[in-house]
């Protein structure tokens, strides 16, 4: 029977083969319809992504004018030019520090805000900087890092804390009048008399270098010391309008209150005193025959805080502004992942005797690992393109020290360099640095789909 069927199938009386049905996608849509809908997106992708990448690779092989073929010379210059090497180094610092710091801070915020009533308000406040543009954030932190404590918030805080633990200089610009005083510089910003002080003979210590109307507080008029013993006066030997005798306490001349006076014998301090509101001071009898010294602490320049935007700290300072902006982003994503964690696992660990740190380290963090990877990878891609904050916050004298690849690309191409070949090469290098991170992200997404 099988042979008959075969003959029938192969003979003249065989049934005709039905025509093949049009190919359809998995969803049942015809292929040409799917291509038609995807065509605008493919055109935009080619025009905005594929073509610029291809043109950048081609342009990186030519010189600044684009007329001379130089091969890989532009790429060689990236790794030999000092400015570009600094940019490569700083970009590596950004990639290594900023994403990890933001992710860790976001994780801490997300975990801690679950335990407080005002957690939602706190999340809103932390996330709010994300609504600010990089330009605005750069301007804000340029003011925050201002060197003058009267303008910069950071140094205002630092100087306030410093002044709590360290004595502030009383008269930073004061100095003795060498023509009428025997006070002479003695190292460390201090001044010491050449002659010794004697009981019953007042020691006159005139100072100049400060305008009377710039003295702190409401100073009193200076007075000559009275009484026996080792006494003296510290005063401003100048008055508005002039007049008076130099080296003598004249009417209208202002007292210098709070000046520390030391009695020194054989290089050792045997007594100390501080000038009063009228400028007078009194030392014990042990100071008889000693030389008087005004320590440098009386005249030291005021502490103006930290040079945040100097060559040493400019990169960490800019990274700090980035952390301020993006910590809210990390916190929100991690908090969303934390909301999906099975609370029974956490309670079971606590019942088994685990403390909160062990629960966090052995349960919470492993369960949040996929979300943490998403945040970390996203931030790594983001910091490779960082440009605005560095360009705005870093002042011109230290901008070279804070330089990154994206900023160097701009400077080489448009910031006065005019070398589009080198700029294109830097852009290609940035693309090559981003590709491994993107590959890791794609692999992670595929593994999640297979679960």
- Over the stretch 257-299, which tens digit does the pLDDT of each residue have? 889 999 999 889 999 999 999 999 999 988 888 999 998 888 8
Is pLDDT above 70 for 9?
A: no
Angle subtended by helix axes 369-384 and 420-450, to nearest 10:
170
At 8, is the pLDDT very low, low, confident or very high (cuts 50, 70, 90)?
Answer: very low
- Percent of the chain exceeding pLDDT 70 equals 92
SS3 (DSSP) at 156: helix
Smallest CA-to-CA distance from 75 within 435, 441, 432, 422 is with 422
Would you state the pLDDT for residue 105? 94
Angle subtended by helix axes 420-450 and 51-59, to nearest 10:
140
- Over the stretch 397-414, which tens digit does the pLDDT of each residue have? 888 899 999 898 888 888
At 12, is the pLDDT very low, low, confident or very high (cuts 50, 70, 90)?
Answer: very low
Would you state the pLDDT for residue 325? 93
Cα 277 from chain centroid?
A: 44
Element (H, E) at 237: none
Task: State the pTM of this model.
Answer: 0.72
Task: List, in sequence order, every residue forming a beta bridge with 261; answer none if it has no partner.
Answer: 273
Would you state the pLDDT for residue 297? 83
Question: How high is the mean pLDDT of the chain?
Answer: 85
Smallest CA-to-CA distance from 272 within 289, 293, 256 is with 293
Pairing of strands 260-265, 268-274: antiparallel
Is pLDDT above 50 for 6?
A: no
Would you state the pLDDT for residue 83? 85
CA distances for 237 relative to 144, 178, 371, angstroms: 40, 12, 71
Would you state the pLDDT for residue 140? 94
Neighbours of 66 (CB within 10 A): 12
- Over the stretch 35-50, which tens digit does the pLDDT of each residue have? 888 889 889 988 888 8
Weakest mean pLDDT among 3-7, 403-407, 439-443: 3-7
**Phi, psi (degrees; rounded to nearest 5) at 273:** -155, 165
Question: Cβ(290)–Cβ(277) under 8 Å?
Answer: no
Is pLDDT above 90 for 316?
A: yes
The number of residues in the chain equals 451
Reported for 194-198, long-range contacts at CB under 8 A and 24+ positions apart, including other chains, are 194/291, 195/291, 196/289, 196/290, 196/291, 197/230, 197/232, 197/263, 197/283, 197/287, 197/288, 197/289, 197/290, 197/291, 197/292, 198/230, 198/288, 198/289
- Over the stretch 361-403, which tens digit does the pLDDT of each residue have? 888 888 898 899 889 989 998 998 898 899 999 998 888 899 9
- Over the stretch 44-91, which tens digit does the pLDDT of each residue have? 988 888 888 899 889 889 888 888 888 888 888 888 888 888 999 999
Pairing of strands 203-208, 230-236: parallel
Region 438-442 average pLDDT: 80
Would you state the pLDDT for residue 24? 52
**Phi, psi (degrees; rounded to nearest 5) at 312:** -80, -40
């Amino acid at each position: 029977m099988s042979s008959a069927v075969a003959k029938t199938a192969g003979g003249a009386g065989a049934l005709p083969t039905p025509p093949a049905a049009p190919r359809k996608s998995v969803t049942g849509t015809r292929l040409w319809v799917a291509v038609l809908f995807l065509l605008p997106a493919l055109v935009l992708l080619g025009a905005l992504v594929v073509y610029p990448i291809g043109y950048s690779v081609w342009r990186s092989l030519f010189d600044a004018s684009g007329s001379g073929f130089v091969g890989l010379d532009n790429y060689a210059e990236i790794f030999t030019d000092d400015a570009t090497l600094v940019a490569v180094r700083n970009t590596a610092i950004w990639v290594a520090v900023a994403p990890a710091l933001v992710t860790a801070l976001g994780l801490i915020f997300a975990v801690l805000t679950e335990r407080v009533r005002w957690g939602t308000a706190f999340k809103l406040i932390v996330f709010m900087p994300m609504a600010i543009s990089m330009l605005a954030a750069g301007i804000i932190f340029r003011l925050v890092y201002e060197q003058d404590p009267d303008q910069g918030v950071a140094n205002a805080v630092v100087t306030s804390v410093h002044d709590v633990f360290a004595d502030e200089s009383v008269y930073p610009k004061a100095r003795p009048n060498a023509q009428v005083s025997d006070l002479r510089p003695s190292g460390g910003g201090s001044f010491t008399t050449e002659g010794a002080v004697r009981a019953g003979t007042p020691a006159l210590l005139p100072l100049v270098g400060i305008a009377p109307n710039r003295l702190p507080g409401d100073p009193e008029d200076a007075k000559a010391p009275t009484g026996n013993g080792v006494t003296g006066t510290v005063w401003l030997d100048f008055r508005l309008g002039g007049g008076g005798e130099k080296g003598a306490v004249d009417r209208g001349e202002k007292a210098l209150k709070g000046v520390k006076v030391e009695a020194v014998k054989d290089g050792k301090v045997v007594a100390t005193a501080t000038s009063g509101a009228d400028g007078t001071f009194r030392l014990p009898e042990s100071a008889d025959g000693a030389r008087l010294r005004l320590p440098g602490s009386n005249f030291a320049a005021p502490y103006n805080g930290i040079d945040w935007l100097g060559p040493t700290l400019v990169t960490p300072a800019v990274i700090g502004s980035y952390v301020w902006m993006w910590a809210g982003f990390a916190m929100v994503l991690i908090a969303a992942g934390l909301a999906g964690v099975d609370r029974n696992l956490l309670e079971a660990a606590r019942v088994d005797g685990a403390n909160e740190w062990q629960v966090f380290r052995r349960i919470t963090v492993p369960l949040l690992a996929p979300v943490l990877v998403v945040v970390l990878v996203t931030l790594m891609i983001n910091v490779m393109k960082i440009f605005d904050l560095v360009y705005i916050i870093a002042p011109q004298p230290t901008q070279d020290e804070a330089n990154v690849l994206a900023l160097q690309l701009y400077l080489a191409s448009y910031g006065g360099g005019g070398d589009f070949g080198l700029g294109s090469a830097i852009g290609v290098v940035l693309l090559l640095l981003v590709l491994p991170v993107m590959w890791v992200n794609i692999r992670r997404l595929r593994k999640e789909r297979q679960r």
